[in-house]
Amino acid sequence: MRVLGIETSCDETGVAVYDSQAGLLAHTLYSQVAVHADYGGVVPELASRDHVRKLLPLIRQTLADANCTGEQIDGIAYTAGPGLVGALMVGGAVGRSLAYAWNIPAIGVHHMEGHLLAPMLETEPPDFPFVALLVSGGHTQLVAVAGIGRYEILGESLDDAAGEAFDKAAKMLDLDYPGGPEIARLAERGDPDRFRFPRPMTDRPGLDFSFSGLKTFTLNTVAEHRGDAVLPDEQTVADIACAFQEAVVDTLVIKCRRALDQTGMKTLVIAGGVSANRRLRNKLEAALARQGARVYYARNEFCTDNGAMIAYAGCQRLLAGQHDDLAIRAIPRWPMDTLPPLGNPDAPKQ
């Protein structure tokens, strides 16, 4: 089965063609980062307007890159949520009606399921069951994954998502948007011993997160060290970036280890934009190796939003016979544990 995947849930327009036999045939991405950088964050109306302009040309290009025509596409998968409702609506309207025009099934895909399954596009994919850490600008969740659509939320952020915390801390340090990669870059020059930020909610049991206190801590540290200037000196900014990143990474590592212990699983999947963070990957790999567990993640370009993960996730569900009616689906808030399971839960793994 050959599936066209469409992602427009936030500020990236992503399109891909995935074939269940041949694998990923093509994928393209248009990032709106430059559109939103001046505003220090995503402006929903501008995001929606840009998706409308970019999506159709991107679909044409992706089909051409995949060297295939519309007749060779067997299904369309589009991100139905969660995300910005206006942005979701663009991909949904185009995706659903294109499937109608081509007389093929369509399916609305859960964006975080897409992220969660993105490592399946790699040459060495993880086996079920596993624990997934979904960590992006909108989500920080630990999920026990028994199979596709069989998700149990083990813990999640009670306030800001980890990626959101990165962005906000970056703003306090006057770094460009998006802040995650900027902080990571600056942290490499920082002195890890100069500041120690708290590791929130690690001193008590449970798998929930809270990152808003870390934001306040960052703000206070900046205020203490800037003197009469608008910002502390460059080295201090780098030291703060380093301390902030260490605190977020350590917190995530501690909770991941705890989730593996609690479930008795030996496989961890990290997905979402923050899973591209090198420090997080390195520390998780080291920590998990000590407990005989292994961590999987997607290549960098599939950690952030993309069409390939949507095409893959949609393909799995379409192969299982699931598909939508003619309604265009756009679900801004959509708990992942309400998704239908795929096939017979007792059947052997695919």
Name the residues that contact other proteins, by CB under 8 A. Answer: 38-41, 43, 45-46, 48-49, 52-53, 55-57, 59-60, 70, 85-86, 89-90, 92-102, 171, 174-177, 182, 185-186, 230-231, 234, 237, 325-330
Kindly tell me which of 103 and 123 has the beta carbon lying closer to other proteins: 103
Least distance CB 336 / other proteins (angstroms): 22
Least distance CB 133 / other proteins (angstroms): 28
Considering only CA atoms, which of 31, 18, 10, 34 is closest in space to residue 163?
10
DSSP state string for 47-85: HHHHHHHHHHHHHHHHHHHTT--GGG--EEEEEEESS-H
Burial of 292 (0-12, 13-18, 19+ CB in 10 A): exposed
Least distance CB 40 / other proteins (angstroms): 3
Kindly tell me which of 60 and 152 has the beta carbon lying closer to other proteins: 60
Kindly tell me which of 143 and 328 has the beta carbon lying closer to other proteins: 328
Kindly tell me which of 26 and 328 has the beta carbon lying closer to other proteins: 328
Distance from the Cα of residue 120 to its chain's centroid: 14
- Cα separation, 275 vs 8, in Å, equals 20
Do 118 and 312 touch, CB atoms closer than 8 A? yes
Taken as a whole, the chain contains a residue count of 350
Kindly tell me which of 90 and 271 has the beta carbon lying closer to other proteins: 90
45, 298, 145, 156 alpha-carbon torsion, rounded to 10°:
-50
Instruction: State the sign of the Cα–Cα–Cα–Cα dihedral 61, 95, 75, 107.
Output: positive
Least distance CB 211 / other proteins (angstroms): 21
Kindly tell me which of 60 and 278 has the beta carbon lying closer to other proteins: 60
In the numeric block, the tokens 């590791």 are attached to 199
Least distance CB 337 / other proteins (angstroms): 24
Least distance CB 43 / other proteins (angstroms): 5
In the numeric block, the tokens 């708990």 are attached to 335
Least distance CB 329 / other proteins (angstroms): 8
CA distances from 280 to 125, 229, 271 (A): 19, 32, 11
Least distance CB 292 / other proteins (angstroms): 39
Kindly tell me which of 89 and 339 has the beta carbon lying closer to other proteins: 89
Kindly tell me which of 219 and 289 has the beta carbon lying closer to other proteins: 219
Considering only CA atoms, which of 52, 230, 268 is closest in space to residue 145?
268
In the numeric block, the tokens 């790699």 are attached to 122
Helix then strand count (H, E) for the chain reads 10, 10
The token pair that represents 18 in the structure block:
């995935």
